[in-house]
Amino acid sequence: MVRVDRPLPLSGAAEPWIERVSVAAYASDLDPRPWIHVPDPATALVWRRAEDGHGALRVVGPRTRAAYHPSKDIPLCVQVRLTVGFAPTVLGIAARDLVDRVLPLHELWGRSAGQLADRLAEAGDDPARAAAVLVATLDSRARQAGPDGRARATLVRAAAVELSTSDGRAPLSVSAAARQVGVSERQLRNLFAATVGLPPKQLVRLNRIRAVLDRLGGQPQARLASDTGYYDQSHLAADFRQIMRVTPGQFAAGKLPVVPC
């Protein structure tokens, strides 16, 4: 197996606070390309199982810039991507403390993280079973957090949808998104700071780059810039280079930054 990254079914019970569950596997001898960690306004819980059977649980916070790392062998990697705004409710940590950081889960949960790791070890090589354990654990913690935290996160999730590029629609402005969800612009900024760790405009910026990455190479860049909410092609190119560290053309051609071995 070279590189596999596929979504796993998500139960309706966990749907409000868990956006996506995926499983991946990597073999560096068959595919030496570096890992590309694209910018992402969301937080994820990741479980990686090494060849020796040991596993590692990590919380990956919002990434404001792309990162490139040497490829390595990972037989099994299960990732649970939390819905934007739900990280504090599910993980019990201030959102600002997660931005551009990767933390071992035991630093947040203590003994509970060790108990979760033991349950995941029992799942062996079964990704569906491991995913079910992760989702059930996060679901339980979210329900214990109380209705206020969930209500704030639900409002932020709705605003994040309005601030996202989808189906060829440019994102709303922050003020328009605030009106759409029934709060003031100041309230929305405060809610984003508390639940996402990023200001709304930065979420818009990261979502634009992610939309570009999904479509890069499939249409002229001028059209791509228009469809994803940029002023023009030069605006797209400048923003892409600042966040991805290469130009759109270089990225599409696989000319990525050199990473240390």
> What whole-number distance in Å separates Cα of residue 67 and Cα of residue 187?
32
What angle (nearest 5°) sits at the alpha carbon of residue 177, between those of residues 158 and 245? 85
User: Is residue 3 over pLDDT 60?
Assistant: no
Residue 234 — very low, low, confident or very high, per pLDDT cuts 50/70/90? very high
pLDDT at 260: 61
| pLDDT per position as a tens digit, 195-214 | 999 999 999 999 999 999 98
> What percent of the chain lies above the pLDDT cut of 70?
88
Give me the chain's average pLDDT, please.
Answer: 87
> What whole-number distance in Å separates Cα of residue 76 and Cα of residue 105?
18
Nearest to 186 by CA among 174, 195, 172: 174
> What whole-number distance in Å separates Cα of residue 207 and Cα of residue 36?
16
pLDDT at 167: 60
Close Cβ partners of 8 (under 8 Å, ≥ 6 residues apart): 21, 22, 23, 78, 127, 128, 131
> What whole-number distance in Å separates Cα of residue 148 and Cα of residue 208?
30
pLDDT at 64: 97
Picking from 71-75, 134-138, 241-245, which range would have the lowest pLDDT averaged per residue?
A: 71-75
> What whole-number distance in Å separates Cα of residue 56 and Cα of residue 78?
11
Host H or E run for residue 55: strand 55-60
More confident residue, 91 or 123: 91
User: Is residue 193 over pLDDT 70?
Assistant: yes
> What whole-number distance in Å separates Cα of residue 220 and Cα of residue 54?
46
Residue 143 — very low, low, confident or very high, per pLDDT cuts 50/70/90? confident
The residue-averaged pLDDT of 42-49 equals: 93
pLDDT at 52: 65
pLDDT at 147: 83
User: Is residue 131 over pLDDT 50?
Assistant: yes
pLDDT at 29: 67
Cα of 232 vs its chain's centroid, Å: 27
**Range picked from 18-32, 60-74, 78-92, 157-171 for highest mean pLDDT:** 78-92
Residue 157 — very low, low, confident or very high, per pLDDT cuts 50/70/90? very high
Residue 172 — very low, low, confident or very high, per pLDDT cuts 50/70/90? confident
User: Is residue 74 over pLDDT 90?
Assistant: no
Q: Which burial class, exposed, middle or buried, applies to 29 when counting CB atoms under 10 A from its CB (0-12, 13-18, 19+)?
A: exposed
User: Is residue 2 over pLDDT 50?
Assistant: no
> What percent of the chain lies above the pLDDT cut of 90?
53
User: Is residue 28 over pLDDT 90?
Assistant: no
